[in-house]
Amino acid sequence: MFLPKPKEVLLMGPGPSPVSRDVLSAIGQHTLGHLDADFLDIMNETSSLLRYVFETENEITFPVSGTGSAGMEAAMVNLLEPGDEVIIAVCGVFGQRMVDVASRCGAKVNVVEADWGQPIDPQRVARAVTDNPCSKMIGIVHAETSTGVLQDLKPIKELIEGKDMLLLVDAVTSLGGIPVEVDKLGLDIVYSGNQKCLGAPPGLAPITFNDKALDAVQKRKSKVQSWYLDLTFLTRYWGEERFYHHTAPINMIYGLYEALAEIREEGLVARFTRHSLHSKALVAGLEALGVRPVVDEKDRLASLTAVWIPDGVDDVAVRSGLRRDHLIEIGGGLGPFKGKVWRIGIMGHGARRENVERLVNALAVTLKSLQYSCSLNEAEAAVNSVYKNYAGQ
Ligand SMILES: Cc1ncc(COP(=O)(O)O)c(C=O)c1O
């Protein structure tokens, strides 16, 4: 092989997350043709596994070729026409990205904002809905990876119950780690990304559309601006017709299939519990080191914990020390959180006890080497007590 062998870095940042050996081996299997009958079976099963993970019966459920942003773009370009009004909730980078993509589609965007580290207040969205009754959709991020906030979708959906308005949800950092419950909540369009809680490498963006969303797409007056992401073409390939549109990323689909099958084998409830448990243990260990979470417990994401960098501690020195000396990657802050916050992922295959313990240990050692005073024993005890309490339940 010519490829320089990548080191086994433990990925505990905002994504990509660790990938299991079986998923990596699935990607390395023999490449089939994109219209080969065996591959078509794999496609069908991938859609069906995605329905299980999205908790939906939606027929139109498949992975878009491209990363999570391609899912965002696919949702918007198919739905929006120039001049459409939309409401977008913004409390971090990915809400802002939604605004950018919607305005590139020519939509008139009304933004509802919250401070970084806070969820969106449904009352403010309610006001936007009242003030802009012709809005075609509300766009919102379920798990804001730039801040570690989990958004409760139920009150947002209730605002548009019975209205001719759609709810578009970014579930990139929640799907497969935190309940998304597409059908139960009545979410109209939801997209995600391979590389977070689903446990596959970046490259595909699972997406699902319900009938109300498809109806809105069918009622468009103008052509979808993007040829590549036009839902009509994509569903003709993913549906029975098997119409050639673009060559599917075959081996990435193998990987997603395997990752989804692992989720089905584990079971969604067990998987959600696993994410929540290891995230609690992580937070306990970090707090014992004096590293405080940014987000209040009630709004905190299990899959991504944002923490304040302690006063006087150098952001880059810690992150590069973790990578160099301990082969662990964590993420830095974005936008207003740059240099102030670390982002630590507990996602998919990475959400396990040995990783929590390894990170807490490595962080304590790294912080001490930078003259920050903390106790590894206390941190270990805090982590252990979370696991002990859980085992005793
Ligand atoms: C919430 C959210 N939405 C969208 C994206 C974009 O995904 P990608 O980087 O895979 O294009 C990310 C990536 O981190 C994300 O966290």
Pocket test for ligand 1, best of 11, 17, 69 (most atoms within 8 A of CB): 69
Give the span between the Cα atoms of 240 and 237, in whole angstroms: 7
The Cα-based distances of 34 to 38, 70, 245 in angstroms read 9, 20, 10
Q: Which residues contact 302 (CB under 8 A, 6 or more apart)?
A: 150, 177, 178, 272, 275, 276, 279, 346
* Max CA separation in the chain (angstroms): 65
Distance from the alpha carbon of residue 389 to the mean position of ligand 1, in angstroms: 34
Report whether the peptide linkage leading into residue 14 is cis, meaning its omega lies within 30 degrees of zero.
no
| Minimal-distance CA residue to ligand 1 atom 7 | 68
Distance, CA 68 to ligand 1 centroid (Å)? 5
Per-residue pLDDT of the chain (393 residues; tens, 9 = 90+): 999 999 999 999 999 999 999 999 999 999 999 999 999 999 999 999 999 999 999 999 999 999 999 999 999 999 999 999 999 999 999 999 999 999 999 999 999 999 999 999 999 999 999 999 999 999 999 999 999 999 999 999 999 999 999 999 999 999 999 999 999 999 999 999 999 999 999 999 999 999 999 999 999 999 999 999 999 999 999 999 999 999 999 999 999 999 999 999 999 999 999 999 999 999 999 999 999 999 999 999 999 999 999 999 999 999 999 999 999 999 999 999 999 999 999 999 999 999 999 999 999 999 999 999 999 999 999 999 999 999 987
Q: Return the pLDDT at 131.
A: 97
pTM higher than 0.95 for the full model?
Answer: yes
Q: Note whether 318 and 370 are within 8 A (CB).
A: yes
For ligand 1, what atom is nearest to the CA of residue 145?
A: 16
378 and 366 Cβ atoms separated by less than 8 Å? no
Cα 94 to ligand 1 centroid, rounded to whole Å: 7
Task: Give the pLDDT score at 393.
Answer: 76
For 21, the 3-state DSSP assignment is: helix
User: Where does 133-267 have alpha helices with state H?
Assistant: 154-159, 182-185, 211-218, 231-238, 250-266
For ligand 1, the distance from its centroid to the CA atom of residue 69, given in whole angstroms, is 6
**Residue 265 CA neighbour count, 13 Å, CB half:** 6
pLDDT for res 42: 98
Amino acid 24 reads L
Q: Distance between CA 248 and CA 36 in Å, rounded?
A: 11
Residue 30 to residue 58: CA distance in whole angstroms: 30
CA distance 2 to 5: 9
The C-alpha atoms of residue 73 and residue 98 are separated, in whole angstroms, by 8
Give residue 352's pLDDT: 97
Which atom of ligand 1 lies at the shortest distance from residue 146's CA? 16
- Ligand 1 binding pocket, CB closer than 6 Å: 14-15, 67-69, 72, 94, 141, 145, 170, 172-173, 193, 202
Rounded to the nearest angstrom, the distance between the alpha carbon of 145 and the centre of ligand 1 is 8
The pair of three-digit structure tokens given for residue 187, joined into one six-digit string: 């979410």
Taking a C-beta distance cutoff of 8 angstroms, is the pair 182, 199 a contact? no
Query: Does residue 201 have a cis bond before it (omega within 30 degrees)?
Result: no
**Which of 64, 72, 76, 94 has most ligand 1 atoms within 8 Å of CB, for mutation?**
94
- Provide the pLDDT for residue 192: 98
Q: Ligand 1 centre from 106 Cα, in Å?
A: 22
140 to 124, 128, 361: CA distances (angstroms):
13, 13, 36
Q: For residue 86, give the 3-state DSSP assignment.
A: strand
Q: pLDDT for 318-359, tens place per residue?
A: 999 999 999 999 999 999 999 999 999 999 999 999 999 999
**Structural tokens at position 22:** 């079986």
